[in-house]
Structure 1
Amino acid sequence: MNFIIKNTWDSLPVRHEPVKIRFSPGDGGMLMEVSAPLFNDPAAPSGPPGQPFPGLWNYEVVESFFLNSTNEKYLEVEVCPHGQHLILLLSGKHNAFMQALPLSFSATINRDRWKGEALLPWRYFPPGVNKMNSYAIHGSGSERTYEALYPVPREDLVEGQGPDFHRLEYFQNFSLQSIMGESWVQPDSDLWKTAE
């Protein structure tokens, strides 16, 4: 299943080759593949590649969120062209109860492009995922750019509003079965029992 981020968070068209995200079945989880232009702004995080990096959203990242809209439990996945990553489990908007979980993620840079591949374990997904959204962020200072697969519609914008990727009401329908097959049943997760 392929997705292309064609808009900024406030529904303006992006002015570069768009970020592409692909989800497919993986061994014990779902593969997330990113193909994106490399802006190299800001500079790389100071943490080692392949490791979680707190505050990764302040750097150049691509993010995907997987939501159970009935109870606002969701998984946030952040990946960076330099190999760092960040996983957050949230119960309620902005309320992370677990973060910096390990992740099998690798990224490669080829001149002005980067590709990344992460295997998202099933235990990271909340039960009953039915919506998702994805984002891309790059740039520094006044050039900081926030892009969204499902942006805030222009008619919903209010003066002074800024980007907030936790606007769950703008997430769109999504089913893990659409990737894994209609008969697939999501495995139970020990991690989400702590959020109940």
Structure 2
Amino acid sequence: MTFIIAMQAEDSLIVSADNTTIAFSNRTAFRRNIASRKLHDWSGGVFTGTGEYGVVQHTLGHLIHGAALSSLPALLAHEKEHRRQEAGPNEQIDITRLILSAPTPHGPRLHIVTDDAIEQIGPGELLMFFPLDYDFFAASSEAISDLNATLRPKSAFATLDEWISFYAGKFAEIYTLQSENNELISRSFHVHFQAEEQSLMFFAENSP
């Protein structure tokens, strides 16, 4: 159960994720943990995913230990099947996909990994990933539209702090609205800012 915002600009990218993890013990009961870190550093930038948390973590392990980016679809499929053998059929396993950044000749770019493909995201894209059967847009439609309308490259800002502050505030507004409408989404979140010469991550408590 993850709410992720990812935006790709011409010279930079930003990825955020709430920090609530839901662990299901059977079909109806679950345990809620509000202190989870879903964004992870790797040598190319940031790594996260939606769906089953264990599958995401195990696939990240392959990448950290030297697996090629091109091998991730096959590794993701393998980890999904392994998890099904452990836990049985589960829709969260089936929908698991990865979101990560990696360097390219044109600067850092977001990539979406499924069982059979890697898609590189082009500049000007705003992506959101959210829990199943949840109308995320209704909870914060104006804030999401505003973020989409203000998607600008890092070079459009006078300083690093201005770039970070501008988007951290817009992301915080969306997470606040989402958490008010869905108890499985925390208003606190981790956020990763990446450009050619910078890569940094921090935790936004986003207190009321």
Relative contact order, CA 8 A, sep 6+: which one is greater? 2
* Same fold per superposition (TM over 0.5): no
Q: Quick check: which one's helix share is greater?
A: 2
Q: Quick check: which one's strand share is greater?
A: 1
Q: Please identify the structure whose Cα radius of gyration is greater.
A: 2
Q: TM-score scaled to structure 1, two decimals?
A: 0.27
Q: TM-score scaled to structure 2, two decimals?
A: 0.26
